[in-house]
Amino acid sequence: MTPISQADESLNAFLVEPETLLSSFTGLDGLIIDARSPQAYAAGHIPGAISVSTYDYFVPNTKPEGMRAFASQAAALYGAAGISMDTPVLVYDDDTGVRVARECWLLEYLGHRNVRLLHGGLNAWQQCGGPIGTQSDSSTAQQFAIQHHSAGFVSADEIKSELDHPKRVVIDVRDELEHDGLDHTACCERRGHVPGAVWLHWSVFLEQGRFKSGEAIRALLHSRGIRADDELVPYCHRGARSANTYWALRLAGYAQVRNYIGSWHEWSARTELPLELGHRQSR
């Protein structure tokens, strides 16, 4: 495993502060992506932004055929929206939320190399005096050619085959009731959590709609028995809350982070995958 390191240059550029966007707004290169719901977009958005979201696209399973189907569906949406691999994109949510995190993760997984996230989202944009528009914008359709980038991806089969791996920490970032198997999520056939998973609610990595500092995140993980050189695998229900945690951990300098995009939606449906019930405090 690679030990913890400082965030690399690409990650340093990943977060865009709203003040930075505002100062360069007229000369912005690329597309601004509103990852919120179409209804939220229609009510008011950053002028020039287009509405694009794969939030409602569930991963059928994380086996190769399932990921191919998911990737093809997402690529078709991106291409129709005018996004190509050469199009720089800046993605935002109401704040630094789960929808923007999942969208950025998916773009990276598909091979896009110029994805940025508006830190603090639309709320921070408005707070710094950024304008709001209601006119719907669009872009000319493009070819979105998938170039898979698997470094931030892990499958259910990989997790199952190495549940006792001494250097891998599976992190359940769902609500506590979901983790304990006491929820009533309609689409999940089974309740509980991945055996051995550490529970950390996804919101603990955020403060006032923004990511906490790397120092604060590292201190939190250390307090839960998570080591600097562990491989970290967050999961949730559909891979959105876990994508938010994925970016928080990477920005904090953890070199080995992989989002389980199938999350509990897949794990619960596959009866051959083991589960546990009840609360688990630490490793």
Q: CA neighbours within 13 Å on the CB side: how many for 30?
A: 18
Separation CA 212–CA 90 (nearest Å): 20
* Predicted local distance difference test score (pLDDT) of residue 124: 98
Q: Of 227, 245, 249, nearest to 237 (Cα)?
A: 245
Domain residue spans of the chain: 9-127, 156-269
Question: Average pLDDT of each block of 10 consecutive residues along the chain (283 residues)?
Answer: 40 88 77 97 96 94 96 97 94 98 98 96 97 92 90 97 94 96 90 96 98 97 94 97 98 96 97 89 53
Q: pLDDT for 29-62, tens place per residue?
A: 789 999 999 999 999 999 999 999 999 999 989 9
80 and 54 Cβ atoms separated by less than 8 Å: no
Residue 152 burial (CB count, 10 A): 17
* Predicted local distance difference test score (pLDDT) of residue 12: 65
* Predicted local distance difference test score (pLDDT) of residue 26: 60
Q: CA neighbours within 13 Å on the CB side: how many for 50?
A: 17
CATH superfamily of 9-127: Rhodanese-like domain (3.40.250.10)
105 and 259 Cβ atoms separated by less than 8 Å: yes
CATH architecture of the domain formed by 156-269: 3-Layer(aba) Sandwich (3.40)
Does the pTM exceed 0.85? yes
95 and 124 Cβ atoms separated by less than 8 Å: yes
* Predicted local distance difference test score (pLDDT) of residue 247: 98
On the question of a common fold for 9-127 and 156-269, the answer reads yes
196 and 224 Cβ atoms separated by less than 8 Å: no
201 and 176 Cβ atoms separated by less than 8 Å: yes
As given in the structure block, the two tokens for residue 277 are: 């019930």
* Predicted local distance difference test score (pLDDT) of residue 6: 42
Three-class SS of the chain: CCCCCCCCHHHHCCEECHHHHHHCHHHCCCEEEECCCHHHHHHCECCCCEECCCCCCCCCCCCHHHHHHHHHHHHHHHHHCCCCCCCCEEEECCCCCHHHHHHHHHHHHCCCCCEEEECCHHHHHHHCCCCCECCCCCCCCCCCCCCCCCCCECCHHHHHHCCCCCCEEEEECCCHHHHHCCCCCCCCCCCCECCCCEECCHHHHEECCEECCHHHHHHHHHHCCCCCCCEEEEECCCCCHHHHHHHHHHHCCCCCECECCCHHHHHHHCCCCCCECCCCCCC
Q: pLDDT for 193-220, tens place per residue?
A: 999 999 999 999 999 999 999 999 999 9
